[in-house]
Structure 1
Amino acid sequence: MYMQAVIKKQGNGIIARFERLLNHSVEKVWSALTENDKVEKWMSNLEMKDLRKDGTIKFNFNDGSGESFDMKIRDFRESAVLDFDWGDGWVRFEVSPEKDGCSLVLKESITPVNDHTSKDLAGWHVCLDMLSDLLNGHHQDFPMDEWEKWHKEYTAAIERLDG
């Protein structure tokens, strides 16, 4: 349905850039990114706690353990930018108006690249598809078969970078 992320090497890591053109207003997309009742439908691990620069997003393991950890918000601009720590890297959402809706760009910095990298990229890819579906009025549980497909694609893409 959507193009694979564009992946570029940066130091001993990578920056991946996912882009989605959505036929929805900035306001509608922003609320899907930041309101917990919507976020849980496309990325159930994330919980928005304190939405501001230097605020907090909570990552819940959702494995029955009740365990979680806090991630610091590095940059925040209402209806435009949400950027937060993600492991040793970061994740940045940028929302901007377009003629027929808006563009959603997700950038992820991953350092170092390891066996988990392609899993992470496939996860974000599928979560963005789920976000798009949610905006279009559909909700589905996490589709493991789609994730498997994208995991293979991203594994190959990362191997090509080292080629």
Structure 2
Amino acid sequence: MNDLGTLEPAGDRWRLRFSRDLAHPPELVWRAVTDPEQLAAWFPHRISGDWTVGATLTFTDPLDRAPAFHGTVLACEPPELLEFEWGTDVLRLELTPRPGGTTLVLLDTLDERGKAARDGAGWHECLDLLALRLDGVTELWLPGREWAELHPRYVAALGPEASVIGPPPGYEPS
């Protein structure tokens, strides 16, 4: 299992930071973070829209637990940088070539510190799914299955102030 993400202040907001060394070239990782079919294997919502700065994205839950919502593409510099609004959060994916592959950094800027443990566990699992997908594993689970195991680790690591908001209705792990 990969190291836990970290939480850091970001002005009047908070930022979760994750880093993964992937054994794949940036172009392959870029497709995994922008192609709708590949995103469906690891991202918690289906994304429709164009990866063009200023474009509107629509996020829909594959299990129909919540209504669709929208975001805006803030930056898109293939194959190095993708940044977009996801609800009240801003997600930023940075891809840096390294010998033997790519370092992927995911930054999730949160408006509420209290959901950091919840979202940290979620993104941790999603990034694990992304790595498996890139490695050619085709039998993957929907994001959320490993959340219940990861969440207590994030609560312990990030503290009680980062753990006051649990999963939204309909997202409780089974």
Count the aligned residue pairs.
161
Report Cα offsets for 1:43-97 as digits up to 9, x if no partner. Answer: 1413141111111322102343783122101111111111011232311001111
- Residue 34 of structure 2 aligns to which amino acid in structure 1? T
- Structure 2 distance, partners of 1:100, 1:135, is 14
- Equivalent residue, structure 2, for 1:36: 36
SS of the residue aligned with 2:137? coil
Q: Report the identity percentage.
A: 29
Name 1:108's counterpart in structure 2: 108
> Structure 2: how far apart are the matches of 1:34 and 1:143?
17
1:72 touches 1:85 (CA, 8 Å); kept in 2?
A: yes
Gaps of at least 5 residues in structure 2 are 163-174
**Structure 2: distance between partners of 1:61 and 1:144:** 12
Residue identity opposite 2:35 in structure 1: E
Relative to structure 2, which stretch is displaced further, 131-140 or 11-20? 11-20
The answer for the alignment partner of 2:132 in structure 1 is: 133
Q: Does the Cα contact within 8 Å between 2:122 and 2:144 map onto a contact in 1? A: no
Q: What residue number does 1:156 align with?
A: 156
Looking at structure 2, the residues matched to 88 and 45 of structure 1 have their Cα atoms a distance apart, in angstroms, of 15
Q: Answer whether contact 2:41 2:142 (CA < 8 A) is retained.
A: no
In 1, are the aligned partners of 2:5 and 2:17 still within 8 Å (CA)? yes
TM-score by length of 2: 0.83
CA distance 1:3–1:22, shift in 2 (3 Å) = same
Q: Alignment RMSD, CA only?
A: 2.1
Instruction: Report if the CA contact (8 A) 2:70-2:87 is conserved.
Output: no
TM-score, normalised by the number of residues in structure 1: 0.88
**Structure 1 segments of 4 or more deviating over 4 A?**
none
Contact 2:13 2:113 (8 Å CA) reproduced: yes
Query: What code does the residue aligned with 2:134 have?
Result: L
Local SS of the residue matching 2:93: strand
